[in-house]
Structure 1
Amino acid sequence: MSKTTQIQNQSFILHPTGVIFWEEKSMLLIADVHFGKVSHFRKHGSAVPNEAIYENFKQLDTIIQVFNPVKICFLGDLFHSYINNEWLLFSDWISKTNAEFILIVGNHDIISPDKYEDLGIKVGSELILDNFLLSHHPEEREHLFNFCGHIHPGVLLKGLGKQRLRLPCFYQTENQMILPAFGEFTGNHTLEPTEKVKIYAITKKEVILVHQ
């Protein structure tokens, strides 16, 4: 189950896959996919199932069917490292997906922008739309609300009997929302709740407001 929130009179749907759909712009915001990471792990001997390579593509196809976006904006770290066999899968996926693509470059995006532009993907360091700043790293900019990634935010939930559960989350402050990492095997960094923060934990099926 998704969760809809209003920010500066705009509607944003937070989805359990970790993406955000900006309704007024018909735009998907997706952070930290890290394509190629599974192949990178396997190349260096990690026992990661080969089927895991296809999970990101399956998830992307699912959310595109749900929202049918006009634009898809990747908020950095689209690819984990250099080109590997997942680039061919990505190229094929892009060619079959009917949307406008934008990549906000992250610290892992070391593949030449020319390669992305050859696929019809617009590449930039940031994007400002209305009063919103889309970036990879968290940014504080006067009069702008920032959507970003990079941190891979997670939250630690504690229950009775010393139960502890760590989940990825959307982490929202007054002027910023950090998206969870979309990609498989990306991990997360636990962020502490503070007084003026909203935290939306995500499970496989639900987005849950756990702190505000």
Structure 2
Amino acid sequence: MNQSLSILDQNFVLHPSGGIFWTEKSTLLIADVHLGKVSHFRKHGSAVPFKAVAENFKQLTRIADAFEANSICFLGDLFHSSLNTEWQLFEDWVKSRKENVILVAGNHDIINPLKYEKLGIAIYSEIITEGFLLTHHPEEREGLFNFCGHIHPGIRMGGLGRQVLKLSCFFKTENQLILPAFGTFTGNYYLEPKSGDQVFAVTRNEVIRVC
């Protein structure tokens, strides 16, 4: 189940995969996929299941097919590090899609921009449109609402018997919404909401407002 939000008279849909669909712009916003991270760690001896690679592309296809957007805007850290075998998988995925793909570069996006250019992917340091600021790192700028990633936000929720449930989340403050990390092989940074903040926890099939 999705969650809908209205911000600055624009409509957004929060999807369980961790992406956001901007209705008026017919654009998907996705942060921190970290493609190539699984292969990077496997190369250096970590026992990471290779099926995690396929899961990232399944998730991308799932959300892209769900909304049939005109554009997909990645808010940084699309690819984790230097080129590895997952780049070819990414090329194949992009060529299989009809959406216009855009990248707002993050700190991990170190691959030569010419590689993206050959795929028709435009790269920006930030995008400002309709009163919104799209970045990788969280930014606070007067008069603009910021969509960003980088933090990999998570939330801890206590239960009976001292159980603690840890989930990724969308974390919204007055002028900012931080997207959860989209990639399957990423950690979380657990945030403590303050008065007025809104937190939307992400499960496999639902986005649930928890505060």
TM-score (norm. length: structure 2): 0.99
Q: Shift of residue 68 of structure 1?
A: 0.2
Superposed CA RMSD: 0.6
- 2:82 is matched with which residue? 82
Structure 1 unaligned segments of length 5 or more: list them.
none
Question: Is 2:21 the partner of 1:21?
Answer: yes
| Partner SS, residue 210 of structure 2 | strand
| Partner SS, residue 204 of structure 1 | coil
- 1:189 is matched with which residue? 189
In 2, Cα distance between the equivalents of 1:169 and 1:150? Answer: 13
Q: Shift of residue 64 of structure 1?
A: 1.1
- 1:138 is matched with which residue? 138
8 A contact 2:52–2:185 mirrored in 1: no
Q: Shift of residue 118 of structure 1?
A: 1.1
| Partner SS, residue 171 of structure 2 | strand
Amino acid at match of 1:132: F
| Partner SS, residue 157 of structure 2 | strand
Question: Is 2:71 the partner of 1:51?
Answer: no
**Number of aligned positions between the proteins:** 211
- 1:124 is matched with which residue? 124
Q: Shift of residue 18 of structure 1?
A: 0.4
- 1:73 is matched with which residue? 73
Amino acid at match of 2:54: Y
In 1, Cα distance between the equivalents of 2:175 and 2:95? Answer: 35
Q: Shift of residue 109 of structure 1?
A: 0.4
Q: Taking every aligned residue pair, what percent have the same amino acid on both sides? A: 62
8 A contact 2:148–2:178 mirrored in 1: yes
- Once the two structures are superposed, what CA deviation does each residue of 1:115-143 show, in whole Å capped at 9, x if it has no partner? 11111000010001110000000001111
| Partner SS, residue 17 of structure 1 | coil
Structure 2 unaligned segments of length 5 or more: list them.
none
- 1:34 is matched with which residue? 34
| Partner SS, residue 115 of structure 1 | helix
Which stretches of structure 1, 4 residues or more, deviate above 2 A after TM superposition?
Answer: none
In 2, Cα distance between the equivalents of 1:189 and 1:51? Answer: 24
| Partner SS, residue 5 of structure 2 | strand
In 2, Cα distance between the equivalents of 1:118 and 1:185? Answer: 27
Amino acid at match of 2:145: F
In 1, Cα distance between the equivalents of 2:50 and 2:164? Answer: 30
